[in-house]
Amino acid sequence: MRQKVAIIGAGNVGATCAQRILERGLADVALVDVVEGLAQGKALDLAEAAPLEGHDGFISGSTTYEGIQGAAVVVVTAGLARKPGMSRSDLLEANAKILQSIIPNVVRHAPEAILLVVTNPLDPMTYLAWRLSGFPTERVLGMAGVLDSARLRAFAAQKLRLSVKDIQALVLGGHGDSMVPLKRFTTVSGVPIAELLSASDLEALIQRTREGGAEVVKLLKTGSAFYAPASSVADMVQSILRDEKRVLPASVCLKGEYGLRDVFCGVPVRLGARGVEQILEIPLDPNEKAALAASAKGVRQDMDVVDAFLKGADPVKKGG
């Protein structure tokens, strides 16, 4: 029997996630959305594409959660998208209300699943999902670092006119303007990128990476990025379902690593069948460490807003 991935939210990100997962042959997909007919219609369209794409994956669409039972991974993409001029944090309260309606249903129908959050603002929404679910921290993580790192790789490849396959990058911190692209860990077939680009050109790539999401939003005007986010989710889901134990950046709960505690922030992790199997603590120089601390401080401020949002509610008791 094939494994199942549930995707909550059948908008551009959710539907494209479903497409990537099916076409890679990773799992069957249960697509859920509150809008009547949206998940059903996209599921039908994707099913009709299966003979042409050559896969036998099954996809269902629904407005209810019964079909997510048995899901190994639940991907939460539901939420409002940014509009031009909006920051990710501007979405916090509106999307917190959406997650508040979703997570208890996930707990009820897929209590053993690994929870992968994509909804923005990413880091505080991952924290909220953890608070509401009561899942252990190794089963709750957020997708952002894979996307931000991919953007840096793409921009570097364009600048250098080299294959993206030969470029590696690592972006840490919160998924926002204070993210921390690590120049020292950005390489071309092992060669530090600083050896191939001037300091000004490299800084321009770093800044464009920080503004990568906003650049897409500005161009689209009525939506936000979805192709690259969906591919990022697919990489993470693949590492979990196939127990690949890849080292990928993800937003996870830090418990003293990097000098940070009780904050969700993007760091490299070993991702396998049990979820976050290890947080890798790489050596940072003083400037990198200070930048990561500053980014985490911004996330913590948003987490305080989440705590205020939850005050008076009765969230499920925290997991370990």
Catalytic residues: 175
What are the two backbone dihedrals, phi and then psi, of residue 30, each rounded to the nearest 5 degrees?
A: -110, 115
Which strands form 261-272's sheet, in the order they lie side by side?
Answer: 59-62, 28-32, 4-8, 73-76, 114-117, 140-142, 246-255, 261-272, 275-279
| Cα–Cα distance, 131 to 115 (Å, whole number) | 12
- DSSP class per residue in the chain: ---EEEEE--SHHHHHHHHHHHHTT--EEEEE-SSTTHHHHHHHHHHHHHHHHT----EEEESSSGGGTT-SEEEE--SPPP-TT--GGGGHHHHHHHHHHHHHHHHHH-TTPEEEE-PSSHHHHHHHHHHHH---GGGEEE--HHHHHHHHHHHHHHHHT--GGGEE--EEB-SSTT-EE-GGG-EETTEEGGGTS-HHHHHHHHHHHHTHHHHHHHHHSS----HHHHHHHHHHHHHHHTT--EEEEEEEEEESGGG-EEEEEEEEEEEETTEEEEE------HHHHHHHHHHHHHHHHHHHHHHHHHTTS-PPPPP-
